[in-house]
Chains A and B, each alone.
Chain A
Amino acid sequence: MATINLVDLKKNYGPVPAVKGINLSVADGELIVLVGPSGCGKSTLLRMVAGLESVTSGRIEIGGRDVVRAEPAERDIAMVFQNYALYPHMSVRQNLEYGLKNRGTPREEIDRRVREAADILEIGPMLDRKPRQLSGGQRQRVAMGRAIVREPAAFLFDEPLSNLDAKLRVQMRVEIRKLQRRLKTTSLYVTHDQLEAMTLADRLVVMNGGLVEQIGTPVEVYDRPATLFVAGFIGSPPMNLISVEGLASAGQSLPLPRGTDIVGIRPDELTLDAPAGAHVALPGTVELLEPIGGESHLHVMLGNGQTVILSVPGRPDIAEGAAVTVHAEHAQMHPFSKETGRRTDAVANP
């Protein structure tokens, strides 16, 4: 049980900055997901919290204690690695016991915790096997088990599901979520997969280029992306970002905040039929129709040459090359400034 505080945390590799000043407060028991594209510094940040990477400047507090100079072992954290990092020459049981033995936990206590973890994760029958005799999903469970037997103040996860196949990934995602709810252990979870981030997080930290773009609950981040980067990163298919000139050239005036030159609209907010509210109508040509089960993605090229994606229910009877009119409601538009990359209505309606 602990809070985690990061204060202006920075990391340079030689002259190259990897993390450029991050502030974050994690509440006790909260699951925070750090999400962002590859190379944006998520792992570096997590490894600094774990004590595996030195800190260039800034503060890390775990449970109110400054741990910047503490060894990994002294930070009372457990980490789940992307490649699981199970000790290959030890049995599953020995893997689970290793951290407890190193800390001089009494034998009965070790046995109790291992039994409990094995029950929770359903790895009881595998305790005497070696990691190489386990499937990917089972190894993942053992890696989780090694973290929970320690009963640490915080869990750190670095892309723990990215080595699993798609089906197992969804299943393990759900299990991690349930486990974390049950144990109520403060957790930092790193992933580049925005869907994983959305489904797991109490709060999301969207990172880009070593900086935080936005912190908020998944719903907040989805409904009101703070920057152009977040707008393009969260959501699948991504939000359409249409230049204001493109809209203006359609000859329609828009009530947009000052300084807006890009407007974002989610694919499922664009419609072919005119909506009830105030809206703009944009003529275009269908380039591609992708049926994906319950819905279809319609790629439409607008008059200004820009392509937008519409997510429409069912399988509309439209031929590729057909002329259509795309409607966008004023109320669904996210106004951004190209220059600052931020929302322009941030002050108007917070």
Chain B
Amino acid sequence: MQTKRTIFPNKLLPYLLLTPQLAVTLIFFIWPAAQAVKSSFEREDPFGFRTTFIWFENYTRLFSEATYLNSVGKTALFAISVTLLSMSLSLLLAVAVNRVLRTNRLYTTLLVWPYAVAPVVVGILWWFMFNPSIGIAPYLMRGLGIDWNHRIDGTDAMLLVIMAASWKQISYNFLFFVAGLQSVPQSLTEAAAIDGAGPFKRFWTIVFPLLSPTTFFLLIVNINYAMFDTFGIIDATTSGGPAQATNILVYKVYADGFLGLNIGSSAAQSVVLMLIVIALTAVQFRFVERRVQY
């Protein structure tokens, strides 16, 4: 890869130019993160007067707590479902668009809109549509004999947040898949067609393997998204309920810390999340450097 280098004659100027970015990073990321790590080793009394250093007690307590382990399970289910659902749907859409409309931008533009919608708004949108008393979806489903109530049924609630979160992410995945598909030379699928492969076989034996760099990249991004960026959606639709059914890790950090005021446990939870993010990012960086080889 080619990189552009600028040579600064002044030794001080580069640092000066970096200062705003460094300041933002320090004040809004590093400092709170350090605070969280510190708090995770402490216990604070309910009035915030006294803190005691308690080593790993917050952590050991956390991993023996049934609600936390439940949340880990829910998060895994949620993240895997959202990733699979949104990636497969967007791949399907991308293939359709790529096939029929190699040049038409209209469909692409329309399909990208959901990405511009803020997570909370997505949540409210789906909350409305699936609202057991006023929503259109439960009304239609009752017509089909399905009883929908995500306020009391944990499975319904999980389905709802999975759908809402997947819907929002489809646009993003779609864009990357379309770009990925366009970079697969048409002559390869033509050669495969002459070689006697039907449309499905062409896709699975030629196109899909060549998309693997895009797919892998999106896999990481989507897991990241489902685990950390879906707070707004959960908050606006189910608030983690009913009965912890949709209380994923990132929402539990908030609920325990700001609603339950258990700062120590909440901090320990966020440190665990931080480690997960770091691991995912490391995987992603290694991938970006080496790319997936075929």
Knowing A79-B191, A87-B188, A88-B294, say if A102 contacts B210 (CB, 8 Å). Answer: no
Q: A250 at the A/B interface (Cβ < 8 Å)? A: no
Chain B residue at minimum C-beta to C-beta distance from A75? B194
Min CB distance A344 to B, Å, is 44
Q: Is the interface of B mostly helix, strand, loop or mixed?
A: helix
CA distance A83 to B186 in the complex (A): 11
Task: Flag if B187 contacts A73 (CB, 8 Å).
Answer: no
Q: Is B255 an interface residue (CB 8 A)?
A: no
Name the one of B187, B195, B197, B198 contacting A83, with C-beta atoms under 8 angstroms: B187
Mask for A55-87, Cβ within 8 A of B = 1, else 0?
A: 000000000000000011100011101010101
Question: Which of B193, B197, B206 is A52 in contact with, Cβ under 8 Å?
Answer: B193
A78 contacts which of B187, B194, B205, B209 (Cβ < 8 Å)?
A: B194
Residue of chain A at shortest CB distance from B210: A89
Which A residues, 11 to 67, have Cβ-Cβ distances below 8 Å to chain B?
50-52
Report which of A51, A88, A98, A130 forms a contact with B195, defined as CB distance below 8 A. Answer: A98
Chain B contacts of A102 at CB under 8 A? Answer: 195-197, 201
Are A73's CB and B294's CB within 8 A?
no
For residue B187, which residues in chain A have a CB less than 8 angstroms away from its CB? 81, 83, 85
Check B185 for interface membership: any CB of A closer than 8 A: yes
Pairwise interchain contact B210-A73, C-beta atoms closer than 8 A: no
Can you report 13 residue pairs joining A to B where beta carbons are below 8 Å apart? A50-B190, A50-B194, A51-B194, A52-B193, A52-B194, A73-B194, A85-B188, A87-B192, A98-B197, A99-B194, A102-B197, A103-B196, A130-B294
Q: Is the CB of A89 within 8 A of B209?
A: yes
Q: How far is the CA of A41 from the CA of B77 in the complex (A)?
A: 55
Interface size on A, residues (CB 8 A): 22
A88 touches B210 (CB 8 A): yes
**In the complex, what distance in Å separates the CA atom of A77 from the CA atom of B209?**
26
CA distance A340 to B103 in the complex (A): 40
CB of B72 to closest CB in A, whole Å: 36
When chains A and B are docked, how far (Å) is the Cα of A103 from the Cα of B185? Answer: 23
Contact of A85 among B190, B196, B201 (CB under 8 A): B190
Q: How many A-B residue pairs have CB under 8 A?
A: 58
Bound-state CA distance A98–B204 (Å) is 13
Interface extent on B, as a size class? 10 to 19
Residues from chain B with Cβ under 8 Å of A50 in the complex: 190, 194
Interface string of A113-140 (1 = CB under 8 A from B): 0000000000000000010000000000
Which chain B residue shows the least CB distance to A156? Answer: B194
Contacts of B206 in A (CB 8 A): 87
- Determine if A81 and B191 form an interchain contact, defined as CB atoms under 8 angstroms apart: yes
Contact of B185 among A71, A83, A89, A98 (CB under 8 A): A83
A72 touching B294 in the complex, CB below 8 Å, given contacts A85-B187, A88-B210: no
The interface centre, meaning the residue of B190, B194, B210, B294 with most chain A CB atoms within 10 A of its CB, is B194
Q: Are A52 and B190 in contact (CB under 8 A)?
A: yes
What distance in Å separates the Cβ of B282 from its nearest Cβ neighbour in chain A? 26
Instruction: Give bound CA distance, A146 to B191, whole Å.
Output: 10
A81, closest chain B residue (CB):
B187
The 3 lowest CB-CB distance pairs between A and B, nearest first, are A99-B195, A89-B294, A102-B196
Complex: chain B residue closest to A94, CB-CB: B205
- C-alpha spacing A130/B293, complex, angstroms: 11
Separation of A146 and B192 alpha carbons in the complex (Å): 11
**Which chain B residue lies CB-closest to A103?**
B196
**Chain B residues within an 8 Å CB radius of A79:** 190-191, 194
Instruction: Judge whether B197 and A73 touch: CB under 8 Å.
Output: yes
